[in-house]
Amino acid sequence: MKKLKVGIIGFGTVGTGVFKVLQNYKEITVKKIAVKNLNKKRNIENFDEKLLTNNAFEIANDPEIDVIIEVAGGVNPTFDILKTAINNGKHIVTANKELLAKKGSELFQIAKEKNVVILYEAAVAGGIPIIMPVKTILCANKISKIAAILNGTTNYILTKMHEQNLSYETALKQAQELGYAETDPTGDVEGFDAAYKISILSTISFNKKVSIDKIYREGITKITAQDIKSAAELGYRIKLIAMGQVLENGKIDVRVHPMLVAKKHLLAKVNNATNSIMLTGYPVGDLILTGPGAGSEPTASSVVGDLLVLASELEYSNAPLPQSICHHDEIADQIEIGETFNEYYISINASNNPGAIGIIGTICGKNNINISTIMQKGVKDDNTAEIVVITEKSKESDVQNALKELLQSDSIKNIDNLLRVMN
């Protein structure tokens, strides 16, 4: 294995984990570590504080450093730091999904010109090996579909809501107290993190550039304890699903939203902070990879794995790994949510009037929506009823039209939720 000198940018949970694992490899020397706060106490035995700098550009411009490990996150100033490093001929190993989703094309283009690689196994699903497998051993496949749980925080919250009948707010608070959710949880609970990850994964799986700006995204903040309960009664669990598929007409459908997942489905059994990726390809068929999607050690496994593969490859040649150069110059033709077809869960608050269910049936019928299940359990104290409808496969724009029409009826008080269903 070629001896390499590395610089680490970011020394939080992941950076520290990477540093500790790298102590086991004498071929790899950590020359510098860029941090925000030089005075912070580091919980590492015999740590040499002289490795630290608060100027990441010092690492990007250091002629002795071969590889940058970037685990700082964010787009600014990380993009400029990595661009400088690439222009200086350094290879990059990164866990930064946001940067790759937003500015990946630009970085990969410069990397190609400079004959260096950007490796990013840790950017999608932490410790689960998925990027390298898709680019290497699965390359004989035409991948047509991905359905995945790519965010541990939201999976943890939804699991606790289900297991303990908690409201979203209470489950989030517990997740924050236990360190699963951040103080500002927006990136996770609104689905941004999962959207970055599915944009990266669907780009390499479908060999077309999937734009983050065209990914439909909905988070979990509107899921109520009542939704979780109704879903369970109907045989489903609610999960935040990141999905991507190639349609028969060649268009690409990529989105992130909560779904009712049938209890028998493997993704319904993935609980707590665990991630899972189900991938369908020809000739391989269905694959499912499940494991830790975050955390210091699992993420270090992917970061150090990328680094060691690179070191081993550079032993034989100065050329980048052929499988690491991105071949997705073609832009994906992504469809809008209105064009998608799904089964739906619609939770409707109706007045306790004779004919309310008839109105729902008539309006659904008029909009080409075939109801497969309808559930009402009594009447509430305010003389309204919660009516839950599950539909057969319908067009999203038809469903949206039906919801508007329903709201015009005096018998319909509110559409409490609309979720998509995976069987």
**Active-site amino acid positions:** 197
**Binding letters toward ligand HSE, positions 246-285, x by CB under 6 A:** ----------------------------------------
For ligand HSE, the closer of residues 121 and 193 by Cβ is 193
Q: Is 151 in the site for ligand HSE (CB under 6 A)?
A: yes
Residue in the block written with tokens 């939080």: 12
Q: What is the pairing mode between strands 216-217 and 142-149?
A: unpaired
Q: Is 391 in the site for ligand HSE (CB under 6 A)?
A: no
Nearest approach in angstroms of CB 26 to ligand HSE is 30
Cβ proximity to ligand HSE: between 102 and 114 the closer is: 102
Q: Is 323 in the site for ligand HSE (CB under 6 A)?
A: no
List the beta bridge partners of residue 118. 92
Q: Which helix (H) or strand (E) holds 147?
A: strand 142-149
155-158 long-range contacts, Cβ below 8 Å, gap at least 24? Answer: 155/239, 155/240, 155/270, 155/271, 155/272, 155/273, 155/274, 155/275, 156/180, 156/181, 156/272, 156/273, 157/181, 157/189, 157/220, 158/220, 158/223, 158/228, 158/237, 158/238, 158/239, 158/240, 158/258
The pattern of x and - marking residues 101 through 140 that bind ligand HSE according to CB under 6 A reads: ----------------------------------------
The stretch among 83-91, 147-155, 245-253, 394-402 that binds ligand HSE (CB under 6 A) is 147-155
Only segment of 34-42, 82-90, 150-158, 302-310 that touches ligand HSE (CB under 6 A): 150-158
Q: Distance between CA atoms of 234 and 191, rounded to whole angstroms?
A: 25
Residue 396 structure tokens: 């999203």
- Name which position in 104, 152, 244, 281 contacts ligand HSE (CB under 6 A): 152
Q: Give the pairing type, strands 412-422 and 252-262.
A: parallel
17 binds ligand HSE (CB under 6 A): no
Judged by CB under 6 A, the residue of 191, 293, 305, 320 near ligand HSE is 293
Chain contacts with ligand HSE (rule: CB under 6 A): 151-153, 188, 193, 293-294
